[in-house]
Each structure stands twice: as structure tokens, then as C-alpha cells.
Structure 1
Amino acid sequence: MENPLDSAELNAALENVHRAGMPGLFAEVRDGDQVWRGAAGVADVATGRPVTADMRHRVGSITKTFTAAAVLQQVESGRIGLDTPIGRYLPKLVPGERGDAITIRMLINHTSGLAEYLPYAYPSFKAFPALANTGPQSMDDNRFTRFHPTELIEMGVAAPAVGAPGGTPGVYSNTNYLLLGQLLEQVTGTTAEEYITQNVIERAGLRDAALPAGPYVDGPHSQMYEAWFGMIDPPRDYSVFDMSWVGPAASLISTVADLNRFFGMLLAGEIVSRSSLAQMQRTVPVISQEGKTIDYGLGLHRKEAPGQGTFWGHDGSAWGAGAVTMTRADGKRQMAIAVNLQRWNRLGSSGRPQPHPIDDALAALYRVAMYGNTEG
């Protein structure tokens, strides 16, 4: 099972993703006490400024693990019941029968049946990912738009349900996590961002992770290039963007080192209790926004690696920025990888994303990073 870090192999796998068309990417892999960090490509295609492994980056839905951990802390304190209906806490936001049927657990593991609000806030998203006839204009229009979470939640609650409460497979929806943010605010008396900062980010000793209020990334960071399935050509930089459109669902900024530190501590029972962690690791099938079925717990993905054991983590995407982090169940092998281009696949005549060389190169990098194996 043990595959010590091979720096040459990791550097080559990283470089292959850059060669396949990724402007820049950076990563940290840990194996026991060994740590490897690497970077390939550029942070700015105009100037050629290189990416470095210590850059801060938007990590998208990896935020959900932090939010889930914060909610579990409140479950431990008795302020939130994991199987209590959301209508008990937020009756105005989820009224009536649905408020009585949807539990906190169903929000965290995406089995609430609540629809995604994004197509209503962002017309670009209307037919995601089968969006051959949509354009990216709404991204530019909303670069500095400040959304209030309740207006976004109302869009998701008003939309046709995507399933019955508690039904599987669940359907991944950011509406769930905006509701969890409002729940945290209700029971803690502070904003979700402040609570998560003090009780999750600071508790884990993360120095470079933050949930910023404004549209800017402080400190050394890459530009973040969105291709929107080939409809933005050349890809456009969206590193400056107000993240209130996703809030506690996907607005976290972090370094790859801080992601590995956090997930290592989480899986060691140092962020939530061991019993809470066991709840987080109870998975159900959930259909992702890309239409794939994933094993999803309470803010955690599970991935089985043949002969290598179980890995836990999350991936994330913001406009132009992507990240993935996985930690083996025993905590000894970890990877966190960040990329500065998103939705690089062009759409075919059916409106579905087509294969791209980046896909295979990234898959190979993940294998090398997780268990030192280049073979598919």
C-alpha cells in the first residue's frame, strides 16, 4: 500500500497537465512525514508570471466540508438536531410540508430535493451542462453583484423539486448549503462566515484560508481563467469576483497546504468529534452538477482506490478556479491540487462536454498523487 513520494514522477505528471492545455496548476502531496510541493505553468498568461505552490486560490465547493463541520459542531453542542426538520429553525425560508420533511442531514448530504438556484441567479447556467445555446454574459454582468443569501434560497425553494426529501440518489444543490449558512446564523447569533472562521479555520490553525467579504483575493494568487465550454475564447480572468452568489457553499480561499492540514485534522477527529466524523462518513449516492453519481456523506466525497483503501475529500469549482483534495482514511497519504482554468471541454453537437487532453492528464496526476501509480 505504501508508495513513497517520487518527486520526479509527481513533477512530470504536473507538467503533463500544463502541456495538455492547463495554463497553471500547483499541488501538495503528503505521505506520512514526507511533503512534496510543486507547480507548473503560469499564473498570468499575459505576463508569463509563474504559478507557485504557496499561492492562495478559490477552492469552490471544498467550502462545503468546512460548513458541514461547523454544523456538526453545533449538533454536538445540542443547538442543532441532525435529524430535525429545517422548518423548525427557518420556517419562513422553507415553509409548509417541505419544511417539516427536510431534515438538516438531508441538506448536508444533498437529499433534500431542493433545486439548484444558480440557473435563476445566472441565466448562463440555464441548461448546465447541456448549454449549447447559452452564453457567459451573466458572469460579466454579476462580477460585482452582492447577493443576499435569502434571495438565492428563495429561488431554489420556489423552483420545481428535483426529488422527494430523503430520496436517493440525491441531487447536488448549492441551495442546501446556503440554508445551512442561514441555520448557523440563526443558532450562533453570528454570520456563518464568522462562525466558520473562528471555529473551523482558526481551530485548524489555517493561516491562508479565509471566507472574504469582498471580490478580491489577497496575497500571492493566480489569475483564474474561465473558458465556459469554449464560449469564452480566449478564456477570461475572473479572479476578481464577488462570491456572495455562493457564500458558505463555495466562497473559500485557501492554499493547497492548508487544505491538506484541514482534512488531515478533520479525519483525525480534531475538528469534530469521532462520532460526528462517523456521521460525515455515512454516504449516499448523489448526482453531481456534471451528471455523475458520487458517494457523498455530510460534506465529504468518498473515493475507493483499488488496492489502496478509501480516500475522503471534496472538489470545487469557481469561475476560472478549480481544486480537489483527497486524504486516505488513515490520514497518511494526502493530496491537494489547484488549477487556474475551468470548463475547458468544448461542447459537442448534443450540448455535452467533449473529451479534452487535460482530462486524462489530470486523472493521471491524481493517481500519482494519491497512490504513486501512473497506470490507468
Structure 2
Amino acid sequence: MTTTTATDESASAMMVITRRAIAAGVLALLTSLVACSSDPSSSPSTESSVSGTETTSPPTLAETIVETSAETVAVAAALDDALLTEWLTEAVAKYPNSPGHLMWVISPEFTGGAAAGTLELDSSAPLEVDTPIRVASVTKTFVAASVLRLAEMGELTLDDPISQHLSPTYLEMLSGDGYDVDAITVRHLLTHTSGIADYAGFEENYEGKFQEMLEADPTFQWNRELEVQFAMDNYDPLAEPGAEFHYADTGYVLLGDLLERAMGVTSYGAAMAELLGFDELGLTSTFVERLDRPAPDKPLGHQYIGTLDYTNIDPGQDMYGGGGIVSTTREISMFFDALLGGRVFDKPETLTEMITPAADAEPGSEAASEGLGIFLMESPSGETCYSHTGYGGTTAIACPDSGITMTITVQQVDAPAEDYSDPVLRVFESLG
């Protein structure tokens, strides 16, 4: 493929990322998340102190480990498509239970991508650079940005109670399970501090009820109502609104409903496309599976959890706001580059609000490394970067100061971290 050069002349020093462990799990993040200090005068308000000390960290967040300069990956050659392909090929060869890897990089020195491996296990069909994949929870960043666009337009404020914006069906479900829909705000849903339990049970019953149902009947077609009702039927409220951080897909499923109601559409994907300007950003292969299109133009890359082919599970189980987008590593990188580059929002302060953790978040807690639909991480060089990861092996990372943005998809969730982190580390080292 053709290598192009980015035109962002404002980017300067390149960051160096050293080798690190990556937390195992369905939403394994490629980089450690750390608390970033913020100016209380410019941070969004919350009703109470958000603590992360009394809860188990959700599997969306990686473990922080000690990094040493001796672990730095050395790279001599200039980065190009061929070298990137070589690194991915080496990584895939280390773990035969993963059919392939995809990666796209945007930086001042190099913009391009690569693919290595096959579409699925026991197949000879090659993976291509623009093979579409389910990006799962990376969808949350798109949803959050769309809600913030509504706030820019004056359609809502983040501190509005959800009773003003959700469908009566969901308000009745929540109220019936003991939730105060006048106390829970839009901001609480965005920051995973609503106290609403996760229908997928990541904290409350990891690999429990919902996962068992998926394995028993992977073709069952879930919908938004069934998912919210499942959370109400199986889990009690976790905390008072604003009191604690609990990663929850349910909150973003509800935000999908909010977007549809606000924009008068039947798919939150259509709402996101309009609010975020998909056409202007060149996101022609980014859409919500089944709601926006029956299928992508190309076959999906198969993603595995052990021997379970995640691609064969009906998309309805993760399609309504917590996940749902099908895209390519190229277009996910393009969106994150535009978002953190200030080309999505009309007002700079909107982006500032999105990437600023709560002012009263406890230092070192998960809440202290989380903005609105995006997580903060600090590079070894001290640069603040922004990331989200998704079930099935996709992670997007954007470092606006250095101008580096990257998305990688590893088609095997259970692959050892050291077997697939090398391409990431080599990319950042080569641009340093």
C-alpha cells in the first residue's frame, strides 16, 4: 500500500514506549493507565467524591507495572508498511491460536498500516489492511463524543437528570429496580459513576450469567430492552449516583437511546454519523452493525476468545451503545486523530471536558484516569495519551502532543501480552 506523510506540523517530540505487561481479559488494554492531575477550576463537577478503592478494577483497565529502560525495544530502520508488516507477521507466528493482527499508524513521520495472518483460524483467506472488525467498546468514545456534541448544540447539559432524556420504558425499568432517575445524570452515565449495574456483569459476576447465556445460545438476538432488563433482573444497584466508579456497558446502552431520541432517528449510529461528521472525516466504512447496514462490504475479521469465535455470536449482545461499531483500524485511527486533534468539536473547551477526569476523583483510582468515554495514560516520556479498548482485541491510542495515533487489533483475546505487544512498542520507538 502507499505510505503517506501526515501534515500536522504542530507535533514535535516523539514518545518512547517501553515493554510492559498487558492485563489479560476480554477488554485487555495495551498500555497502563495512570492518574493525571487536573485543574479543579476547569474540571467537570460531580456530586460526590468518586472512589476507586472499594471496587475491583474492571477488566477494561490494564495493570500498571514497573518499566525500565533496559526493556526498550530498539529499532534501526525507518518505519514503513513493509517493516510494519514484518513486525505483525512475527507477532502472529508466536501465537498460532490468533489468526492475525491489524494495525494503522498516523504520525508526522509515517502514516500507513499493515495486516498479517488470515481472516479466521484454519483458513487461507488473507487478512487485509482494511478488513472490517467489531471494535466493541471503542464504540463508547464515539458515543461520548456524540453526547458532547449535543451539549455543544444546547440540546442538553451533562448535569441534566436522565429522567429528562431517556425513553419512558427505560426510566420505568430503572425506577422499578430502585434507581433514582432524577439523581442520575448524563455525566454519571458517561463516567461509569451512575451506580447502574453492568448487564454483562464484568465486575459483579465476571464470566457469569450473561456469558453463560451467550455460550448456550450464541445466535439469540438481544436488543436494548432485553439488555437493560437483564441488568435489572440480575443485579442490584452498585452505589449512589456519583459515589463510585463501576465500568458498565448498561450506561452506554442507555446513552444510545438518548442519542436516538435527541436526533429523532431509529439508530444511534445514524445520530453519531451526523453529529460527528463521518462524511467530513472520511469514515466511509464505520457503522453500527445491523442497525445501519446489513453487513460490511468485506468479510469480517474473525476475533477469538480462546477457541470461541466471537464473530459467530449475534452482534445484538453488544450493539446498542456499549459496543456495536464495525470499522477498520485505519478509520478508528482517523477518528481518534481528528478527535484529539480538535477537529470534531466546535469548541476547544468541549474536548478539554472530555479528557479531564473528575476534579474530586481519588488519586490513583480508576476514576482518576478516566474522562468522558476515554481513558488517560501517561507515556514513559511523560506525555499524556488517550485510549479506549474493545472486547475482541482492538485498542486505539492517541498522543496529541507527539502527533502519534495508532489502532491495533489482535484477533485473539487470550494471546499472551508479550506475544503481541512488540509491534506497538516498535512503532513508538521507531518514531521516537
Q: Same fold (TM over 0.5)?
A: yes
1:313 deviates by 2.2
Q: Contact 1:267/1:277 (CA < 8 Å) preserved in 2?
A: yes
Show CA shifts across 1:9-55 (max 9, x none).
64444233212212201101122152131122221322222212111
1:217 deviates by 4.1
Measured at CA, do residues 310 and 85 of structure 1 come closer, stay the same or move farther in structure 2, by a change above 3 Å?
same
CA root-mean-square deviation: 3.1
Q: Contact 1:58/1:254 (CA < 8 Å) preserved in 2?
A: yes
Structure 2 CA distance for aligned equivalents of residues 102 and 35 of structure 1:
42
Q: Secondary structure at the match of 2:378?
A: strand
Show CA shifts across 1:261-293 (max 9, x none).
11111112222231111111012579xxxx988
Structure 2 CA distance for aligned equivalents of residues 5 and 89 of structure 1:
51
1:364 matched residue in structure 2: 422
Which structure 2 residues correspond to residues 71-150 of structure 1 after superposition, within 5 A? 71-90=147-166, 91-95=171-175, 98-119=180-201, 127-129=205-207, 138-150=213-225
Which structure 2 residues correspond to residues 42-61 of structure 1 after superposition, within 5 A? 42-61=118-137
2:64 matched residue in structure 1: none
Q: Secondary structure at the match of 2:321?
A: helix
Q: Contact 2:304/2:311 (CA < 8 Å) preserved in 1?
A: no
Q: Which segment is superposed worse, 76-85 or 184-193?
A: 184-193
1:172 matched residue in structure 2: 247
Q: Contact 1:264/1:331 (CA < 8 Å) preserved in 2?
A: no
Q: Contact 1:84/1:103 (CA < 8 Å) preserved in 2?
A: yes
Q: Secondary structure at the match of 1:71?
A: helix
2:405 matched residue in structure 1: 334
Measured at CA, do residues 83 and 226 of structure 1 come closer, stay the same or move farther in structure 2, by a change above 3 Å?
same
2:311 matched residue in structure 1: 239
1:141 deviates by 4.5
Show CA shifts across 1:47-70 (max 9, x none).
222212111111111100111111
In the alignment, which of 319, 322, 325 is matched to residue 252 of structure 1? 325
Query: What stretches of structure 1 of length at least 5 have no aligned partner?
Result: 345-355
Show CA shifts across 1:187-207 (max 9, x none).
222132221133323342201
1:305 deviates by 0.4
Q: Contact 1:64/1:250 (CA < 8 Å) preserved in 2?
A: yes
Question: What fraction of aligned residue pairs are identical, expressed as a percent?
Answer: 24
Structure 2 CA distance for aligned equivalents of residues 135 and 79 of structure 1:
35
Structure 2 CA distance for aligned equivalents of residues 251 and 114 of structure 1:
20
Structure 2 CA distance for aligned equivalents of residues 62 and 51 of structure 1:
21
Q: Secondary structure at the match of 2:376?
A: strand
1:353 matched residue in structure 2: none
In the alignment, which of 255, 276, 279 is matched to residue 202 of structure 1? 279
Q: Which has the higher strand share?
A: 1
Structure 1 CA distance for aligned equivalents of residues 237 and 212 of structure 2:
27
Show CA shifts across 1:299-323 (max 9, x none).
1111110115111121111xxx321
1:37 matched residue in structure 2: 113
Q: Which segment is superposed worse, 217-226 or 20-29?
A: 217-226
Measured at CA, do residues 39 and 64 of structure 1 come closer, stay the same or move farther in structure 2, by a change above 3 Å?
same
Q: Which segment is superposed worse, 184-193 or 153-162?
A: 153-162
Q: Does 1:69 align with 2:81?
A: no
Q: Contact 1:327/1:334 (CA < 8 Å) preserved in 2?
A: yes
Show CA shifts across 1:149-171 (max 9, x none).
12322332452122321124x11
Q: Contact 1:93/1:150 (CA < 8 Å) preserved in 2?
A: no
1:275 matched residue in structure 2: 349
Q: Give the letter for the 1:283 counterpart.
A: P
2:227 matched residue in structure 1: 152
Q: Give the letter for the 1:15 counterpart.
A: T
Q: Give the letter for the 2:199 counterpart.
A: Y
1:261 matched residue in structure 2: 334
